[in-house]
Amino acid sequence: MAGGKETPRQKMIGMMYLVLTALLALQVNSAILLKFQFLDQSLMGVNGKTVSDNAGVLSNIKSAVDKGGNRSTDTRVLKSAQEIRQQTSELVTYIRGLREQLITKTGGVSEDDPNQYANPSGEDHVAMLMIGAANKRNGAAYELKDKLNNYAKFLNEYNPNMPDQLAYDGKEDPVAKNDKTQRNKDFAELNFGETPMVAALAVLAQKENEVLKYEADALQELARRVGADIIKFEKIFAMARAESKTVAAGTKYKADMFIAASSDAITPKMSFQGKPIRVENGMGQVEFTAAASNYDAEGNSKQSWKGQVTINQNGRDTTFTVQEEYIVAKPVIQVQSAAVQALYFQCANELNIQVPALGAIYDPSFSASGGSAIKGAKKGLVTIIPNSTEVTINVSSGGNAIGSERFKVRPIPKPELVPLVNGRPIDVKRGVPAQSIRAVEIQAVADEGFKQLLPNEARYRVTKWRAYLVRNNSPIDQGEFNGPSANLTSFAAKASKGDRVVIEVLDVKRLNYRGEAVDAKTGGESNFIVPLN
Has residue 361 got a pLDDT over 90?
A: no
User: What pLDDT, on the 0 to 100 scale, is given for residue 401?
Assistant: 86
In a domain, 366, yes or no: yes
Backbone angles phi, psi at 454, to 5 degrees: -130, 75
Give me the half-sphere count of Cα atoms (radius 13 Å) on the Cβ side of residue 94.
Answer: 17
Confidence check: pLDDT of 9 > 70: no
Compute the distance between CA of residue 477 and CA of residue 488 in angstroms, rounded to an integer: 10
Q: What is the mean pLDDT of residues 500-509?
A: 93
Q: How far apart are CA 46 and CA 207, in angstroms?
A: 12
Are 278 and 293 contained in the same domain?
yes
Does residue 75 surpass a pLDDT of 60?
A: yes
CATH number of the structural domain spanning residue 343? 2.60.40.10
Name the more confident of 360 and 19. Answer: 360
In this structure, the answer to whether residues 165 and 76 fall within a common structural domain is yes
For residues 100 and 136, membership in a common domain is answered with yes
How many angstroms separate the CA atoms of 228 and 446, rounded? 88
Cβ–Cβ < 8 Å for 333, 395: yes
> Of 198, 226, 254, at which residue does a domain stop?
226
CA distance 269 to 284: 8
Q: How many CB atoms sit inside 10 A of residue 241's CB?
A: 12
pTM exceeds 0.75 for this model: no
Instruction: Provide the pLDDT for residue 264.
Output: 57
Together in a domain, 513 and 481:
yes
Least confident of 205-219, 313-327, 392-406, 460-474: 313-327
**Is 350 a domain residue?**
yes
The residues, any chain, with a CB within 8 Å of residue 481's CB and separated by 6 or more, are: 464, 465, 466, 467
3-class SS of residue 178? helix
Q: Is pLDDT at 476 greater than 80 in this prediction? A: yes
**Into how many domains does the chain fold?**
4
Do both 153 and 266 map to the same domain?
Answer: no
3-state secondary structure of 143: helix
Q: Do 408 and 513 contact (CB within 8 A), yes or no?
A: no
Whether residue 164 sits in one domain with residue 60: yes
Question: Is residue 68 domain-shared with residue 203, that is, in the same domain?
Answer: yes
> What is the structure's pLDDT at 96?
94
Residues 397 and 382 in one domain: yes
Question: Cα angle vertex 239, ends 235, 255, to 5°?
Answer: 155
Residue that terminates a domain, selected from 394, 410, 426: 410
Strands 246-248 and 279-280: unpaired
Percent of the chain topping pLDDT 90: 37
Judgement on whether residues 76 and 196 belong to the same structural domain of the protein: yes
pLDDT at residue 2 in the model: 44
149 shares a domain with 20:
yes
- The residue with greater pLDDT, 399 or 357, is 399
| Residues of the domain holding 301 | 238-329
**Is residue 170 pLDDT above 60, yes or no?**
yes
Average predicted confidence (pLDDT) for the chain: 84
User: Given pLDDT bands bounded at 50, 70 and 90, which one contains residue 16?
Assistant: low
Nearest to 121 by CA among 140, 103, 136: 103
- Are both 519 and 427 inside the same structural domain? yes
* pLDDT tens per residue, range 284-339: 888 888 887 788 875 678 888 899 988 875 456 788 888 888 878 777 677 776 55
Which residue among 329, 356, 380 closes a domain? 329
- Among 6-10, 255-259, 480-484, the least confident range: 6-10
